[in-house]
Structure 1
Amino acid sequence: MQSIRVVSYNIRHARGLDNKVDLNRVAEVLCRSNAQLIGLQEVDKYLPRSHFQHQTKILGRTLNKFWAFAPNLHWGAAQYGNAVLSHWPILQYKQYLLPSKGEQRGLLEAEIQMGHRRISFFCTHLGLNREERLEQTQEIIRVISQTPCPVILAGDFNDVPTSPEYNLLTSVLLDATSAVGGFGTYPANRPEEQIDFIFISPEWQVLSIFPIKSDASDHLPVLAELQPAWENDENYNNIKLL
Structure 2
Amino acid sequence: MRRITLFLTLFLFSPTAPIIYNVHSVPAAPLGKDERPLKIVTYNIRGCRDDEGIADPLHIAETLQTLNADVIALQEVDYRLPRSQFVDQIAEIADSLQMNYVYAPSLSLVVGTYGNALLSKLPILHAETIALPASWEPRSLLDVTLDWNDKPLHVYVTHLGVKESEHREQIESLLASLQENTHQSGVLLGDFNMQPDHPLLDSLRSLYQDPVYDQQLEFVTLKGKHRGRQIDRIFLSPDLAFLDAAAPSIGQSDHFPVWMRIQKNAPHPEVSAEAER
> Hey, what does 2:235 align to over in structure 1?
199
**Aligned pairs for 1:1-242 within 5 A:** 2-76=36-110, 78-147=112-181, 148-178=183-213, 179-187=215-223, 191-229=227-265
TM, length-normalised to structure 1: 0.91
Q: Decide which moves more: 193-202 or 172-181.
A: 172-181
Cα deviation for residue 180 of structure 1 reads 4.8
Structure 1 residue runs of 4 or more that deviate by more than 3 Å after TM superposition: none
1:95-121 Cα offsets, whole Å, 9 max, x none, are 000000110000000000111211100
**What is the CA–CA distance in structure 2 between the aligned matches of 1:189 and 1:91, rounded to whole Å?**
40
1:110-162 Cα offsets, whole Å, 9 max, x none, are 00011121110010000011121111011000011101320101100001011
Cα deviation for residue 54 of structure 1 reads 1.0
Q: Decide which moves more: 115-124 or 160-169.
A: 160-169
SS at match of 1:72: strand
Root-mean-square deviation (Å): 1.7
Query: Do the aligned residues in 1 keep the contact of 2:39 with 2:260 (CA within 8 Å)?
Result: yes
Query: Do the aligned residues in 2 keep the contact of 1:95 with 1:106 (CA within 8 Å)?
Result: yes
Aligned length: 231
**What is the CA–CA distance in structure 1 between the aligned matches of 2:230 and 2:160, rounded to whole Å?**
14
**What is the CA–CA distance in structure 2 between the aligned matches of 1:168 and 1:201, rounded to whole Å?**
13
Share of identical aligned residues, percent? 33
> Which has the higher relative contact order, 1 or 2, with Cα contacts under 8 A spaced 6 or more apart?
1
Structure 1: gaps (5+ residues): 232-242
**What is the CA–CA distance in structure 2 between the aligned matches of 1:226 and 1:192, rounded to whole Å?**
25
Cα deviation for residue 191 of structure 1 reads 2.7
**What is the CA–CA distance in structure 2 between the aligned matches of 1:17 and 1:228, rounded to whole Å?**
39
Query: Do the aligned residues in 1 keep the contact of 2:106 with 2:139 (CA within 8 Å)?
Result: yes
Structure 2: gaps (5+ residues): 1-34, 268-277
